Structure 1
Amino acid sequence: MVIENAPGALLNFRPVNLSQDGNVCVGFFEDMLLCAFGSAQQIQSPDGKQRYLQSLREKAAEVPGSIVHAWDETRIVGQIEMSLLKTEPAVGYIHFFYLTPEWRSRGAGKLLLAYATNFLAGLGCERMRLSVSETNQRAARFYSHHGWTDIGPRQDRPELPLRLMEKAIGSTQTASV
């Protein structure tokens, strides 16, 4: 799927090829951990990378097409990881929403959001959720600006400073670019 925003901001979304691009996924996840929590210790543990890659394999098998890379003309510049909540099947969850630094603040986040919204709507989701670190004010502002509502702290991970955010999906809320 190709989504275009402003001139020159064209992204192509393709399912992640873990055998070829697993190291890219790990690098993106490590950068996100540093940005959100100031530490990438979780991925740098002896089996951290393998655990992360295994979780990607499981998510991709459970919901085909839910783990995607965003490509510019020649390289991977972003990644989205999505699933359906087991306890609330009408809710899609965005586990990971990432752009390389040079693609941030260029409208590309809106393109990733449009892709995720359309993908989850296609699965019959009525709402989508994600977690944002309380220390990542830039991300929280981005989501708020795009209609997400802070619904409170994540109760299942009290050791992490995470806020849950939610957005309705519907004919008037479906992202468009």
Structure 2
Amino acid sequence: MAQRFNFRPINALRDRQTIVQFRKDSYIVSFGTPDELGDEELYVAWMAMAAAMEPEGFVIMECEGKPIGQMELEVILYDGHPIGYVDLFYLIPEYRNRGLGKRQIDYAEAYFKRKGLTEYHLRVSPTNKRALRFYEKHGLKKMMTEQLTQTVIRMGKRL
């Protein structure tokens, strides 16, 4: 029997524990520590606002009703024009390497196209070689290295 996967809008209060844990794990995978998350309350408050404004952009991926991933997608200005921006692609470890990251990419690209966008970007840690290979395999190109609180690589793709 095939498993059923779906995306549903994040409810920051109901999903608080899940979104904080997923975000922390994403920082551990990327930077070796969850410290980059900062103040959990600020993150949850931001998520509540962002998810209320763009419920299709801030979603939990579920398998048979179990949360297995998260995406944070938004529209930002870059060089004076609107682009899609991926704040987070995340899957729990036991669901990685099963083709589900491709489902997330497909969802994100369809979302950005519905918004009338022709390009999207994301940032990735240069030490996260698995993510770099995955994004390159799916057509994202390295654009530049940026220094935030950590060094990151900005990647982009035209739609």
Report the TM-score range of the alignment, normalised by the length of the smaller protein: over 0.9
Q: Which runs of 5+ in 1 are unaligned?
A: 1-6, 170-177
Amino acid of the structure 1 residue aligned with 2:143: I
> Please, what TM-score do these two structures have when normalized by structure 2?
0.92
Residue identity matched to 2:84: G
Q: Deviations over 1:22-60 (max 9, x none)?
A: 1100000000111100111233x5xx1101111212322
| 2:124–2:154 Cα contact (<8 Å) kept | yes
d(CA) in 2 for partners of 1:15, 1:111: 16
Match of 1:81 among 72, 79, 85: 72
Question: How many Å apart are 1:143 and its aligned residue?
Answer: 0.2
May I ask how many residue pairs the two structures share in their alignment? 158
Q: 1:31 aligns with which of 21, 25, 48?
A: 25
Q: Residue in 2 aligned with 1:90?
A: 82
CA shift for structure 1 position 68? 0.3
Contact 2:3 2:64 in 1 (8 A): no
Q: Choose from 117, 128, 138 the match for 1:136.
A: 128
Q: 1 or 2, which has the higher strand percentage?
A: 2
Which of 28, 49, 56 is equivalent to 1:65?
56
Task: Report the counterpart of residue 51 of structure 1 in structure 2.
Answer: 42
Percent sequence identity over matched residues?
Answer: 32
- State the 1:66 CA deviation: 1.2
Q: Which runs of 5+ in 2 are unaligned?
A: none
Shift of 1:154: 2.2
**Is 2:83 the counterpart of 1:99?**
no
Judge conservation of contact 1:16–1:67 (CA < 8 Å) in 2: yes
- Equivalent residue of 1:19, what SS? coil
> Alpha carbons of 1:161 and 1:108: their partners in 2 closer, same or farther (altered >3 Å)?
same
Which stretch shifts more, 127-136 or 12-21?
12-21
How far residue 89 of structure 1 moved from its aligned partner, in angstroms, is 4.5
Q: Answer yes or no: is 1:41 the counterpart of 2:32.
A: no
Deviation at 1:131, TM superposition (A): 0.2
TM-score, length-scaled by structure 1: 0.83
Contact 2:12 2:51 in 1 (8 A): no
Q: State the match for 1:14 in structure 2.
A: 8
Matched, 1:168 2:145: no
SS at match of 1:125: coil
Give the CA RMSD over aligned residues: 1.6
> Which 4+ runs in 1 deviate beyond 4 A?
none
